[in-house]
Chains A and B, each alone.
Chain A
C-alpha cells in the first residue's frame, strides 16, 4: 500500500483546486501518469503520480481544495521506487575506451525520449468506437457528420458531432487516416462501444507505428486508440498544421521554455509547437495550459451553443455595459462567496397603520413614505447591532474590514438594467429624510442621471421586489459587501393571535450573506432583529 501525496507545486503555491480527476479506483497507475488537474493561482497543472500500482482509494473530489502534502490517492502493490531514484546510466560513461559510453550519452541526452512519442498511427483499418463520454452517460445523439467517406483526416480531427446531456462534443480521430466508412447517420442515437467510423491507412508515414503514445499525452485518459479514442468531452479543436515530431527526439523548445513548462506543470511532450519545425514557444505552453483548463470538466458548461435558428427566428443583441458588468459581478460573487440565504417573515399590520398615519407628514416634505424607507432605517439599526453585516473580507490580507459608517444600497430596476444607488449615513437620517433621498435617487437612477459616485460605498444592500410580487427569493450578495436583504410581497394572511384567527399583513424577507464572515446563528438573529423592528414601531426606540 502506498500513498500519493500532493507534491510541492513550486514557489508559494500551497494548495490548489481539484478541477478534474484523471484516474479512477481500480485503475493501474504508473509513475508520472497525471492523476488530477489542479488549478492554482498561477495555472492549471496536471499532477503526475510518483507512485504506481492499482488505485484502491481516491481521497479528493472535484472542487476540493488540495493542500501540498495531502494524501490524494492510495495504491496497492506499489512497484515504483518511490523516493528512490531511477537506475543509473551504465558506469561505462567514464570509461574512456569502453564502447558502451556512446549509449550512455544517448540516455543522458534524451531523458524524455519515451514520453515524447506522438500518438501511434495504425496502418490497417481502424475502427473508431464511441468511447466513454462521462459518468452516467451511455449514449449520444449524432448531431452532424463532420467528415465524408474518402476524406483525409488529421489525428484528433473531429469525425462526428454528438449531443449528450452535458452539451455537444466531437468524436476525434484517434490517428490520421482516410475515412473508409461512416456507420452512423445524423439523428442516430449512438451507444458506447458502437462502431462509428472506419479509418484506413496512415498518412504520416514518419510516425512509427510502435510509438507508445496515448498514455503519455496529458489530459487524455485515453484507452488504446484502436478501440476507444480519447473521451470526446476532452476534445480540442484539430490543430491546423501539426509538424510531426518523431519519437525519441528531444522536445523542440528552448531551455527557458522547457523550464517554464516544468514550473507550471505542463507536460511539454504534449504541447503542439506553433513555430517553424514545430518549435514550442513560451506562448504555446501558456496556450496549452489554458486549453487544458478550458477543455477540462467545464467543457460541458461552456459547451458551444446550439444553432437556435434551427428552431425558429432569432436575433442577437450585444451586451450593454450594465449587462456586462452585472454578468461579471454576479458570476464573480456567485462563484467566490459561499452564500447562505436565511428566510423569515414579519407581521407588518401595525407598521402599515403607522405608515398611513405618518405618510401625510412625509408627503409634506415632498416624498412618499414607502416600506423601503422604513426597511432602510430598521436595517441601519440592525447593522449597528451586528457590525459584521457591514464588513468586507480581505482574503489576501486575512482581515475583516469593518466600516464605521452606514451607507445602504437600494436595488433599482431601470430600463438599462439593475442599478444600485447608495443612500449615505442612513443611521443618522430620519425616515422622512430617507424617503426624500430615496425618491430623488430613484428618479435620478431611472432617468440615467445617476453618477458612478452615487453607486459606490455601500455597506449593505436592500432589494425590494414586493412591489412586483413573489413569495420569496434568494438575492446574490453585492460584493464586496457581505449581506443583502431581499423583500418580497407582503400579503394578508390568517394568523392565530392569542388563540384567535386574525387577518394580518405578513411580509416575507430573505437575507443572503457571506458565510465566510457571518455565522448561521448571527444570520438568523440579524434577520429576526429586522423583523422585530418592523413589527413593533417602538422596538427600535427601546433598543436605543
Chain B
C-alpha cells in the first residue's frame, strides 16, 4: 500500500498497526471519526500478522501434518520420509502473511483511514512527528491518540554475544535452516510452539525452563497432556534450570546451565538457540516525555479501565500496557474507539481465552484451578478417553474440565487440552461471559460425534450424570 499523502491534522492518531491498533482505527472510522494509522510496515498487521500469531500457525499446521504422517503408521498407512523444501515452506508462510496484511491494507483504504508508514514520536499531548518510511518527516496534529506500539522479544545479556545462531521468535519464523540441535530457552507458549515446528522439521529440540513447569499460567493437568507428547518429540525438557553461559565456538554454541536451586553446571552443544523468555513493551523513543503519559518501572504504559493514560488525550492498548494477547488488544481497541466516540465503554471481560497452539493444544478461560486455590469451587472433568470423536482421532489423552461455583453452579472457568482446544474454548468463553450454569451447558444439545461434546459431558459429569463415565472425578 502506497503511503497516503500526509495530512497535517487528524481527529484520531493510532500509533501502531497491530491487532490492537488496526482494530481501534477501523472501529473509530466506523464510528465516524477521522483516523490516521501509523505503522512501520507496509500494511497494518503488526507482530501478530507479520511475525507472530499468523506465520507461526501456518508453520504449526505443517508441523501437525508431519506428525500425523508418522502417527498414521499405527492406522495402517505408512508414508516415506518427508522431503522438506524449506524455501517453498517459507514462501507458503510468506504468502499467508502477504494475503492477510494486504487484505488489511484494503480494509483500511475502504474505511478511508489514512495510513502513514513510518515511525512516530510524540512532540506534545496533541502532536506527533513521523519519520516517513520513504524519507522526510511529517508533523501531525491530533485530537486524541492511541498508543498501540506493542512489544518485542526480550534479549538477555548472557545471550547478547552477537551470534547469528541465537534467534528470537522473529528470527525463528524466518526459517533460516533446520538446525540439527536446537535449544529453546523459555518453556512458555512461543518457545513450545516454535520448538514443535522445528522438531517436526527434523531438529533435535531441548527446552530449558527456569520454573518448575511448562506454560506456567496453565493448570498442570492440562499441561500434562502436552508435556507427555513433548517428551517423545523433544530431546530433553529441563525444568528448574537456568542458563549460565553461552559461547559461539565458531561451528556451534556451547551452553552451560545449572539448576536454579543451585547445583552442578552442565555444558551442552547446540546449533541454534531460540530465546523465548518473554516480550518487553515498545515504550521507548516515542517522545512520551513530552506528554504526561506514565510508565511502570517495567516500562509498561499505565492506563485506567478505559485504557486512558495520564495524558487525557492519549490512550494505550495491547502489549505496550502488558495485555500480551492479540485478542485482548483488539477488544481494548474497540473499547477505546467507543470511548473516543463518546460512548460509556470499558474493558471488563469475565473471561479471556488463552491458547497454546501446540499439538495437542491447551486452552483455558476464566478462572483456572490454580487461581482458585483457597476458593470454594468444584471441578467437573471429562477425560477424552470416553469421547468417541477423540478416539477416532487417536487422541484419547485429552481432557475437558469446568470450574464451577458450587453455590450457584455457575461456570467460572473452562480448561481444555487436546487437538482443537483453541476452537473449543470459545464455548467456554461464552458460558463464562453469559454466567451460564452447569445445567445450561448440559441441556444444550451438542453435535455427535464431536469434540465439543466433551464440554457438554463435563457439565453432565458435574452432577455425576455423564452417560460415558461411571465414576465422575470430583475434586
Whether A109 pairs with B210 at a CB distance below 8 angstroms is no
Chain A contacts for B137, CB-based, 8 A: none
Interface residues in A232-256 (C-beta closer than 8 Å to B): 243-246, 248-255
Chain B contacts for A85, CB-based, 8 A: 294, 302-304, 308-310
Instruction: Compute how far the CA of A246 lies from the CA of B346 in the bound complex, rounded to whole angstroms.
Output: 23
- Whole-angstrom distance between the Cβ of B350 and the nearest chain A Cβ: 4
Question: Given A91-B298, A97-B216, A101-B217 in contact, is the A108-B323 Cβ separation under 8 Å?
Answer: yes
Chain B contacts for A97, CB-based, 8 A: 186-188, 191, 209-211, 216, 276-278
B59 beta carbon closer than 8 Å to chain A: no
B434 beta carbon closer than 8 Å to chain A: yes
Whether A102 pairs with B371 at a CB distance below 8 angstroms is yes
Whether A112 pairs with B408 at a CB distance below 8 angstroms is no
B300 beta carbon closer than 8 Å to chain A: yes
Instruction: Compute how far the CA of A199 lies from the CA of B98 in the bound complex, rounded to whole angstroms.
Output: 70
- Please name the 9 residue pairs, one residue from A and one from B, whose CB atoms are nearest each other, closest first: A96-B188, A95-B278, A91-B298, A277-B408, A252-B435, A250-B350, A85-B304, A102-B217, A94-B324
Interface residues in A82-113 (C-beta closer than 8 Å to B): 83-99, 101-106, 108-112
Residue of A95, A245, A275 with most chain B CB atoms under a 10 A cut-off: A95
Residue in contact with A254 in the complex, picked from B303, B305, B433, B437, CB distance below 8 Å? B433
Whether A102 pairs with B368 at a CB distance below 8 angstroms is yes
Whether A105 pairs with B354 at a CB distance below 8 angstroms is yes
B321 beta carbon closer than 8 Å to chain A: yes
What is the chain A residue whose CB lies nearest that of B409? A277
Whether A263 pairs with B344 at a CB distance below 8 angstroms is yes
A293 beta carbon closer than 8 Å to chain B: no
A467 beta carbon closer than 8 Å to chain B: no
A276 beta carbon closer than 8 Å to chain B: yes
- Whole-angstrom distance between the Cβ of A440 and the nearest chain B Cβ: 59
Whether B407 pairs with A101 at a CB distance below 8 angstroms is no
Question: Given A85-B302, A109-B351, A255-B433 in contact, is the A94-B216 Cβ separation under 8 Å?
Answer: no
B231 beta carbon closer than 8 Å to chain A: no
Residue in contact with A243 in the complex, picked from B302, B407, B433, CB distance below 8 Å? B407
Whether A90 pairs with B216 at a CB distance below 8 angstroms is no
Residue of B296, B299, B347 with most chain A CB atoms under a 10 A cut-off: B296
Instruction: Compute how far the CA of A255 lies from the CA of B434 in the bound complex, rounded to whole angstroms.
Output: 7
Residue in contact with A91 in the complex, picked from B281, B308, B328, B433, CB distance below 8 Å? B281
Whether A95 pairs with B296 at a CB distance below 8 angstroms is no
Whether A88 pairs with B376 at a CB distance below 8 angstroms is no
Say what secondary structure dominates the interface of chain B. loop
Interface residues on B, range: 35 or more
What is the chain B residue whose CB lies nearest that of A50? B304
- Whole-angstrom distance between the Cβ of A204 and the nearest chain B Cβ: 9
Chain B contacts for A278, CB-based, 8 A: 408, 410
B335-374 vs A, Cβ < 8 Å mask (1 yes, 0 no): 0000000111111111110100000000000111011000
Residue in contact with A109 in the complex, picked from B280, B308, B366, B440, CB distance below 8 Å? B366
For the A-B complex, the count of residue pairs with Cβ-Cβ distances under 8 Å equals 173
Whether B375 pairs with A91 at a CB distance below 8 angstroms is no
Chain A contacts for B409, CB-based, 8 A: 277
Question: Given A88-B321, A91-B300 in contact, is the A105-B217 Cβ separation under 8 Å?
Answer: yes
Chain A contacts for B321, CB-based, 8 A: 88
A206 beta carbon closer than 8 Å to chain B: yes
Residues of chain A touching chain B, judged by Cβ–Cβ distance below 8 Å, are: 8, 10-11, 81, 83-99, 101-106, 108-112, 206, 243-246, 248-255, 258-259, 262-263, 275-280
Chain B contacts for A93, CB-based, 8 A: 322-324
29 contacts across the A-B interface (CB closer than 8 A): A8-B344, A84-B294, A85-B302, A85-B303, A85-B309, A88-B303, A88-B321, A90-B298, A93-B322, A96-B279, A97-B209, A97-B211, A97-B278, A102-B368, A104-B322, A105-B371, A109-B352, A109-B366, A112-B348, A249-B405, A250-B350, A252-B408, A252-B410, A258-B348, A262-B346, A263-B343, A277-B408, A277-B435, A278-B408
B312 beta carbon closer than 8 Å to chain A: yes
B460 beta carbon closer than 8 Å to chain A: no
Given contacts A96-B190, A244-B407, 10 further A-B contacts (CB under 8 A): A11-B343, A87-B302, A89-B322, A94-B151, A94-B280, A96-B189, A109-B366, A276-B439, A277-B405, A279-B410
Whether B304 pairs with A88 at a CB distance below 8 angstroms is no
Instruction: Compute how far the CA of A250 lies from the CA of B350 in the bound complex, rounded to whole angstroms.
Output: 6
Chain A contacts for B434, CB-based, 8 A: 254
Whether B405 pairs with A246 at a CB distance below 8 angstroms is yes
B154 beta carbon closer than 8 Å to chain A: yes
B319 beta carbon closer than 8 Å to chain A: yes
B412 beta carbon closer than 8 Å to chain A: yes
Residue in contact with B302 in the complex, picked from A84, A108, A276, CB distance below 8 Å? A84
Instruction: Compute how far the CA of A17 lies from the CA of B309 in the bound complex, rounded to whole angstroms.
Output: 31
Instruction: Compute how far the CA of A108 lies from the CA of B296 in the bound complex, rounded to whole angstroms.
Output: 16
What is the chain B residue whose CB lies nearest that of A258? B348
Question: Given A95-B279, A97-B209, A254-B434 in contact, is the A87-B296 Cβ separation under 8 Å?
Answer: yes
Question: Given A88-B296, A102-B216 in contact, is the A250-B412 Cβ separation under 8 Å?
Answer: yes
Chain A contacts for B299, CB-based, 8 A: 91
Whether B371 pairs with A83 at a CB distance below 8 angstroms is no
Interface residues in B204-254 (C-beta closer than 8 Å to A): 209-211, 216-217
Residue of A8, A86, A93, A94 with most chain B CB atoms under a 10 A cut-off: A94
Chain B contacts for A94, CB-based, 8 A: 151, 278-281, 319, 322, 324
